[in-house]
Structure 1
Amino acid sequence: MLLSELLEKMKYTVVKGTLDTNILHLVYDSRKVTEGSVFVCIKGFKINGHDYAKEVIEKGAKALIISEDVEVDGEVTLIKVEDTRHALACMSAAFFGYPAEKLKTIGITGTKGKTTTSYMVRSMLENAGLKTGLIGTIEVIIGDKVIPAANTTPESYQIQEYFAKMVEEGCNCVVMEVSSQGLKLHRVAGFTFDYGIFTNIEPDHIGPDEHKDFEEYMECKGMLFKNCVVGIANGDDSHMTEVLKGHTCSLETYGIEKEADLMACNVNLHSKDGSLGVTYQLKGLLNYGVYVNLPGKFNVYNSLTAIAICRHFGIHEEDVKKALAQVKVKGRVEPVNISSKFSMMLDYAHNAMSLESLLTTMKEYEPKRLVCIFGCGGNRSKLRRYEMGEISSNLADLTVVTSDNPRFEEPEDILKDIIIGVKKGRGEYIAIIDRKEAIKYSIENAREGDVIVLAGKGHEDYQEIKGVKYKMDERELISQAIEEIKAEGKTII
């Protein structure tokens, strides 16, 4: 591919050399440069790609994309652009043959709900016969292939490569989570989303390596709505207007509380045979009853978001209902079927805000007892431990304090910190360091009507100790615990 073809949709200045250079590889990591590469000099938080200009030329780079001046010798082409991250996105799209143009692209942004909503959307589209790829926090799904995710929104080159593979696999659509960092760093530049979705926003990701303040966080979220054809937004969110300020897309809304284009009415919590869910009636653009096999008001919003998206694909009512009745998202209030007498679920809640939201939701189902099993990560704020301990003790009837990822701390020390917070609350507690033993205790001591929440790990399938990640999947721990209980001649209610 000629360099000129990679640059065809960009603004740039030729500083040195020729655009007729034949390019074999598009690279932004100096370690991966080989003969015939074009190297994009990314200026990161700690490393500046411009500092590697001479090194990559020695490795065979034929062209460099720069935003700062560099001094180089030899027959190399220098192309100057305003932002090399944006350039990488545009060049990646060209390098892979603009695969997004061959897919219906759905981008979901927001502080919460992105993961669950994306799985709901994929389930609905797949039920309707539309092969759909997924890019998200937990994993990337391309046909039958599942790839563990490193970032919520991968680098732009990776996104375009995934898109290209989805096209090869015969996918019709792709649904992806779009983080504020992904937008800020232009990872989703180079193409226009068919649908951009805003779920909600709360102060989060504020810090030196992410967003300087809440205003910048909202502004970055809003970038999606200047890069999509149709925008779909949560009309109940108090910051919606500010986030969507300056949007260039057509816009529709959904909600529960405020008048919107698509609304959920007559919301009712549903509990039967150990299963927790929610029912409601659609009103507005669609009118029919919905049952969601996941608990809580936040899953009303998640499912409503998914329905608002899939309406544009003409998804039949029965396919929507089937998807929502069967949906299960790994580590997001994920139900575990053990007994019809009590409920157990896994959730990724690993900070005070998410744990409080989760336990408050579970209390709405009025369980006989709410049991919370959780730990806290090592080498992290002790304040988080105190806060989570107190929240659990105030909301749960029984807190089972256990180990999470101790990292380089001793698990006993972390548990002691959590218990300081637990003792400020009014609930009972027990400390069991071994996570499997903690799970086993909760199952063999379960009472009819209990709701047991296993929080903190969610989709993670490892435990990090002293710099090593050991395999540990809570689903396997639960199975092991049940086998041990039965082997001991004990019964589970």
Structure 2
Amino acid sequence: MYKLEDLLERLDYELIQGTIEAEVNTVVYDSRKAQKGCLFVAIKGAVADGHKFIEDVCKKGCKVVVVEDEVCVDDDVTVIKVDDTRYALACISAAYFGYPAEKLHVIGITGTKGKTTTTYMIKSILDNAGHKTGLIGTIESIIGDERIPSSNTTPESYTIHEYLRKMYDAGCDSVVMEVSSQGLMLNRTAGILFEIGIFTNISPDHIGPAEHKDFEEYLKCKSLLFKQCKVGFLNIDDDHYEDIVQGHRCSVETFGFSDAANIKASDVKLINEPGRLGVDFKVSGLVNCEIQLNLPGKFSVYNALAAVAVCRFFEIDEEVMKKSLLNAKAKGRIERVEVSNDFDLMIDYAHNAMSLKSILTTLREYQPKRLVCVFGCGGNRDKRRRYEMGEISGEFADFTIITSDNPRFEEPQDIIDDIKVGIKKTNGEYIEICDRKEAIAYAINNGKPGDVIVLAGKGHEDYQEIKGVKYPMDERVLIQEILSER
């Protein structure tokens, strides 16, 4: 049992009725999980308002409710009123799980692109250096040998503290976490003092009715990380670096190609050889060494520089760092799959116009004989994405194979027809093959020496969503099936 007084110790609140001496056995914010003796936090979500379910949770035996609005409950229910129940949930969850963030080295990474790859780079290095490192991110959360698929880049605060507690109990001393702008805006990381905060880059994204109202808000939310960390490592080359760092409350170190960077990259060499599509470069400044990556592109250099900064903070051996970076990869993020000695095949999560343009322009720098793009677009989403991605692929790829990708409740052919509207604005060659396995097989079976093929859109996803059902479909499995059938 937990004393309510202890769970509220770091929270400003008003006791409306009842007593802070009340005892609770668990904390819930989903009314469906309410039980006898619980504390319920009423969250105002995008779909439902928890305040509307107060009567239901009290009928189930809830003895404490934390609210923003006035509510009417029986006299034996304690009511705690706060300004922001999301912030309250973060503070209460931290107390409930014994403040696990304070027992770990917590590293937070924010930015539009690069968060996922950078988290895996850092985890790889720390693990190889003898640390036991947890991970919370877009693809999954990793707690020891347990891997939990993610639904949000940054989970709800209760889940974050639950995972941190499990990591500590499993013997972890560190955790690296993707920190989304939504996570910061919705106070999912409130109350956590990050030991390290990292900024990769920022560009217009996640702007719309259900996310950020405009780029200024998006920018402001990203910058919040540097008001709740001890040390900040930031990309000084980004056009909005000054905006991100404004009002920071941490010590700051920078990385980038600029001469002003504390950790500077130079002498970049793109490597395209059998079995390797990567990049080599020199590091100077606070760290001096040469780095090799089996990941392509300039943006991979930025991700690696962030990891190098963390290595310096942890005083990690240079050889351990270099070896770890050479082998680091994230599932579905410019992930190379071995299919032939004649051409390269990459899997990437690029699922909008911005990310597709980024991966295609990056691979174009390696001067492939042909750049082949296999992609589709999700159903029940903004149709403009289809036109834009079609136009991008037509412009930047030599050959496009339009296929299906999570059609949901739409007909796959209708989505393909929308993509064709965009691609027909260009001179890019294309074909349409609705079945994704057949599309991938066509790309592999018609691959030519010097080609680079990118399967875009699915990345780490291992399913295809059709008519409300998620059917198993992992592109890596499809590739192996195709190769075995040849």
- Band of TM-score, shorter chain: over 0.9
Q: Is the 8 A contact 1:389 1:419 kept in 2?
A: yes
Paired-residue identity, %? 61
Q: Map Cα deviations across residues 198-253 of structure 1 (whole Å, 9 max, x no partner).
A: 11111111112211111111111111111111111110111111122211111111
Q: How many residues align structurally?
A: 485
CA deviations over 1:319-377 (Å, ceiling 9, x no partner): 11111111121110000011222110000111111111111111100011111111111
Determine the structure 1 residue equivalent to 2:245: 244
SS in 1 for 2:476: helix
Where does residue 221 of structure 1 map in the other structure?
A: 222
1:192 is matched by which residue type in structure 2? L
Equivalent residue, structure 2, for 1:315: 316
1:19 aligns with 2:30: no
Distance in 1, Cα, partners of 2:477 & 2:75:
58
Deviations, residues 157-184 of structure 1 (Å, cap 9, x unaligned) = 0000000000011001000000011011
Match of 1:271 in 2: 272
- Asked whether the equivalents of residues 235 and 258 of structure 1 are also in contact (C-alpha less than 8 Å), the reply is no
Aligned to 1:124: 125
Aligned position for 1:193 = 194
Q: Given residue 375 of structure 2, which amino acid in structure 1 is its aligned partner?
A: F
CA contact (8 A) 2:343 2:452 kept: yes
Q: Distance in 1 between matches of 2:430 and 2:204?
A: 31
**Residue pair 1:91, 1:190 contacting (<8 A) in 2 also:** no
Q: Give the secondary-structure state (helix, strand or coil) at the position aligned to 2:23.
A: coil
TM-score by length of 2: 0.98
Displacement after TM superposition at 1:281 (Å): 0.3
Once the two structures are overlaid, the 10-residue window that deviates more, 431-440 or 330-339, is 431-440
Q: Aligned equivalents of 2:391 and 2:207: distance in 1?
A: 24
Q: Partners in 2 of 1:339 and 1:367 — Cα distance?
A: 15
In 2, distance between residues paired with 1:242 and 1:55?
45
Paired position in structure 2 for 1:490: none
Local SS of the residue matching 1:469: strand
Equivalent-residue separation in structure 2 for 1:349 and 1:357 (angstroms): 8
Point out where structure 2 has 5 or more consecutive residues left out of the alignment: none
CA-atom RMSD, angstroms? 1.2
Provide the rounded CA distance (Å) in 1 between the counterparts of 2:56 and 2:436. 49
Distance 1:41 1:401 in 2: 45
Partner of 2:24, secondary structure, is coil
1:164 corresponds to 2:165 = yes
Partner of 1:135: 136
Residue-by-residue CA offset, 1:282-302 (whole Å, 9 max, x unaligned): 010100000011001110111
Q: Check conservation: 1:116, 1:332, Cα contact below 8 A.
A: yes
Q: Deviations for 1:362-420, whole angstroms, at most 9, x for unmatched residues? A: 11000111111111112223322222122212211111111111222222222222223
Which residue of structure 2 aligns with residue 60 of structure 1? 61
**Aligned residue in 1 for 2:459:** 458
Q: Match of 1:286? A: 287
SS at match of 1:93: helix
Offset of 1:72 from its aligned partner?
A: 1.6
Determine the C-alpha separation between the residues in 1 that align with 2:46 and 2:410: 28
Q: How far apart are residue 73 of structure 1 and its match?
A: 1.8
Normalising by the residue count of structure 1, what TM-score does the alignment of the two structures yield?
0.96
Deviation at 1:105, TM superposition (A): 0.2
Structure 1 stretches lacking a partner, 5+ long: 486-493
What CA distance in whole angstroms lies between the structure 2 residues aligned with 1:372 and 1:15? 60
Partner in structure 1 of residue 111 of structure 2: 110
Alignment of 1:48-447 (within 5 A): 48-447=49-448
Code of the aligned partner of 1:350 = H
Look up the equivalent residue of 2:372 and give its one-letter code.
V
C-alpha contact (below 8 Å) 1:236/1:258 kept by paired residues: no
| Contact 2:275/2:341, CA 8 A, preserved across alignment | yes
Cα separation, 2, equivalents of 1:222 and 1:292 = 29
Provide the secondary structure at the position in 2 that maps to 1:106.
strand
